[in-house]
Amino acid sequence: VGCVMGWTPIPGMVLRESPFPNRLLRGLYSLGQHLLFPSYWATDCLLDLKETTAERRQRQCCPRCPLRALVTGPLLLLLLILSMPVALLGLLLWLPLQAARRPFAYKHNMLSRQPAGWELPGTGQAFSFVSANVCLLPNGLAKNSNLGQIKQRVARIGQHLTQGEASASFAGPRSHQFDGEGGAGPGEISAPFPPDVDFMCLQEVFDQRAGARLCQLLSPFYEHIVYDVGAYGLQGCCTLKVLNSGLFLASRYPVLAAQYRCYPNGIREDALSAKGLLSVQVQLGSAQGQRIVGYLNCTHLHAPIRCDQLTMGLSWVQLFQDTHAQHGDVVAFDVFCGDFNFDNCSSGGLEQTHDIFRQYQDPCRVGPRQDQPWAIGTCLAVSTPEKLKRTLEQEEGRRTYLAGPILRDGRPDPSAAGSPWEGRRIDYILYREHPAPISLTTEVEKFSFITQLAGCLDHLAVGLRLLLNPAPQ
């Protein structure tokens, strides 16, 4: 079940960048988008009239601010009405072209600085992953998360995602034990992003212009980028999709194959977005004439129907890997990450005992409803203030700024009131080992809760660094 859409390059062939096989279809698709844009822009601007907390405070200082809605609202509504015939023409062009569109765009930018290919047998190798929900929706929809100003936020996000190496040079040690905890672990609260992140997996890059801008900002640092992921219109899905999946993946290593699948059971506010699973196979090096490969699976689950989607996701991952594996492949890592929209601390969560936690390892988890003492939540209750890193190292700060455990109906969980407050951890990076001709041992070197994007997101980014070594013979 679900929309199965992907493309695999023939050996020696570079993955085609455009989602369309020729210029004619690409041009017609672009024309359809331009015809739809005036209505899209007017709708977004109307929704953008809703105020964020910061805008409400500004209005209190500037009495003339309410005039903006009174004057621009009717003008935008008039533009929307006048643009509808043009939008209908664009829709008639845009919808059928989805059948010819591959469900992602790919950018390949040749860089002078490329990671050295890993060869086995030999020394070990470390790989670094980051996952973040960046809330890059159209401005009007982002206001529901108390965020807006997408142009400014995407510029700040792109800048911070690529500053890890410079920040690390003066940041010093960044691992901290929290109040009342015993025993240090691999967890840390980090202000900057880790240096030399190999794989960047993002969610909620829904706005196409923001996705293109983010791709432009990251391409000087990541040679391979998969973006604008998702099936639009009625192509392969049960309902009309006007937003893509929001998934975005940047890799320093070559992409061998990529596949996207759409969850078929989206409901409520998620029904119009093509949320799904992006699976990618990358080449890391060679071992005795065989490939060393890695698998990355990035997703964003629907809040009410997560168990079914996790089950579908596991079966899709296995099908993708069975399809693209070659005899003798050495699988260095297999990572499953993203915004799962559930935590391991709230009571009554069926997802906490899902089979995914038997197949994959969660470095932050001890068992159902029990996390490692160094793990903290990633779901922020409000837009974060300055110096969030220092604040989250204290339990009182976590109680103030991290959303707490909830019941199945979404109400706060009263049983968690007196327990150590770690917050709701809904952003995950899981991994598993594969048997291979050359066995590898996997060690979690570091797991990071990253505060660099404070003020830009309503989530904390998370990072994982895996150290892989050939197992002793």
Q: Catalytic residue numbers?
A: 459
- Distance of alpha carbon 186 from the chain centroid: 22
The first and second tokens of residue 195, run together, are 């240096």
Q: How far apart are the first and last CA of the chain?
A: 43
Backbone angles phi, psi at 316, to 5 degrees: -65, -40
Structure tokens at 154: 């995407």
- Tokens matching residue 371: 């996390």
Is there a contact between 437 and 290 (Cβ–Cβ < 8 Å)?
yes
Q: By three-state DSSP, how is residue 128 classified?
A: strand
Half-sphere exposure of 171 (CA within 13 A, CB side): 19
Hey, which residues does 99 pair with through a beta bridge? none
Q: Which two tokens stand for residue 69?
A: 């809605």
Q: Helices 208-218 & 150-161, crossing angle to 10 degrees?
A: 30
Strands 199-203 vs 248-251: parallel, antiparallel or unpaired: antiparallel
**What sign has the CA pseudo-torsion 205, 275, 148, 304?**
negative
- Does residue 427 contact residue 133 with C-beta atoms inside 8 Å? yes
Nearest to 210 by CA among 246, 245, 240, 242: 246
Q: Scanning the structure block, which residue is given the tokens 């099936």?
A: 231
Q: Which residue has the tokens 């609260």?
A: 189
Amino acid code (one letter) for 19: P
